């Protein structure tokens, strides 16, 4: 089945085009994730065996002292049950399998998947897996116009191909300036919850600042830097007080690099 394109107009009136992920890429990603979980489960059981083997009385497995078994079973239940939910929310809609296949889960409005949507989407896996081997989910993905399974319909999500930034043969002036300053996205430490709170509005503000960074006089740039810092720094737990213009610029440029990966991509 052909993988269609989907045009989304965000609440900020930005038009974005996505290539929807079909059954093949989604199935491959799911199998990779299942292999990872299987390897983890087997490793956990092997460790449990050696723990029990090292106990003085092996009969404790059957009579009362089953704490290692209980801990292992609870741990496996949490890991297997929360694997997709946690990765999809905290890793930008990408489990390891999806990342390898170059796909991700997003909201229907083009924004990153929310905590509630991730929870609902993965809770519905119970139904999508019926009657066996994800039969219902496979049928729905294959026949639905947007390749959605039941979990996607209920949570309001879609699975799309990653849109990779164009590789330019020559660095732009801004990229050269960022390299000259030795900046990278790792220079700005922002926790995942804070990062998730930054939406398209903040990205457009940062990207506009970055695009004008080298095009305006230094005095005007310093004023613009201070204005942007006052607006954005409270949202990323940064204090502009006592910082030089160069330090403020470096933080904003590092924020640009951090948000660039999430928002600025092309098919």
pLDDT, tens digit (0-9, with 9 covering 90-100), for 211-251:
889 888 999 999 999 999 998 999 888 888 888 999 999 99
**pLDDT score recorded for residue 38:** 96
Q: Which residue has the tokens 């079909």?
A: 22
**Residues 205/228, Cβ–Cβ less than 8 Å:** yes
Task: With beta carbons less than 8 A apart as the criterion, state whether 202 and 259 touch.
Answer: yes
Higher model confidence: residue 17 or residue 119?
119
pLDDT of residue 85: 94
Please give the Cα distance from 84 to 91 (Å, whole number): 10
Task: Work out the burial of residue 84: count CB atoms within 10 Å of its CB; fewer than 13 is exposed, 13-18 middle, 19 or more buried.
Answer: buried
Report pLDDT for 76.
92
Give percent of the chain above pLDDT 90: 40
Confidence class for position 55, pLDDT limits 50, 70, 90: low
pTM over 0.85: no
Strands 103-107 and 157-161: antiparallel
CA–CA separation, 138 and 149 (whole Å): 7
Rg (the chain; Cα; Å) = 23
pLDDT score of 239: 87
Query: What is the reported pLDDT for 39?
Result: 96
Q: Are 45 and 91 in contact (CB under 8 A)?
A: no
Task: Give the burial class of 61: count Cβ atoms within 10 A of its Cβ; 0-12 exposed, 13-18 middle, 19 or more buried.
Answer: middle
């Amino acid at each position: 089945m052909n993988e269609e394109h989907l045009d989304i107009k965000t609440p900020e009136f930005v038009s974005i085009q996505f290539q929807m992920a079909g059954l093949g890429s989604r199935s491959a990603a799911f199998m990779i994730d299942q292999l990872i979980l299987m390897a983890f489960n087997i490793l956990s059981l092997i460790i449990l065996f050696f723990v029990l083997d090292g106990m003085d009385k092996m009969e404790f497995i059957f009579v009362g002292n089953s704490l290692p078994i209980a801990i292992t079973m609870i741990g496996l239940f949490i890991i297997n049950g929360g694997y997709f939910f946690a990765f999809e929310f905290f890793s930008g809609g990408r489990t390891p399998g999806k990342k390898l296949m170059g796909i991700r889960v997003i909201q229907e409005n083009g924004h990153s998947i929310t905590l509630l949507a991730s929870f609902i989407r993965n809770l519905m896996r119970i139904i999508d897996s019926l009657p066996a081997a994800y039969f219902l989910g496979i049928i729905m993905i294959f026949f639905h116009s947007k390749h959605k399974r039941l979990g996607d319909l209920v949570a309001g999500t879609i699975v799309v191909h990653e849109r990779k930034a164009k590789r330019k043969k020559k660095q732009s002036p801004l990229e050269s300036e960022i390299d000259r300053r030795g900046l990278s996205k790792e220079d700005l430490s922002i926790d995942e919850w804070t990062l998730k709170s930054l939406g398209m509005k903040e990205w457009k503000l940062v990207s506009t600042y970055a695009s004008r960074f080298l095009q305006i006089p230094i005095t005007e740039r310093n004023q613009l830097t201070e204005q942007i810092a006052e607006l954005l720094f409270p949202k990323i737990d940064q204090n502009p007080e006592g910082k030089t213009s160069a330090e403020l610029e470096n933080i904003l440029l590092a924020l640009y690099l951090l948000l660039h990966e999430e928002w600025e991509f092309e098919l």
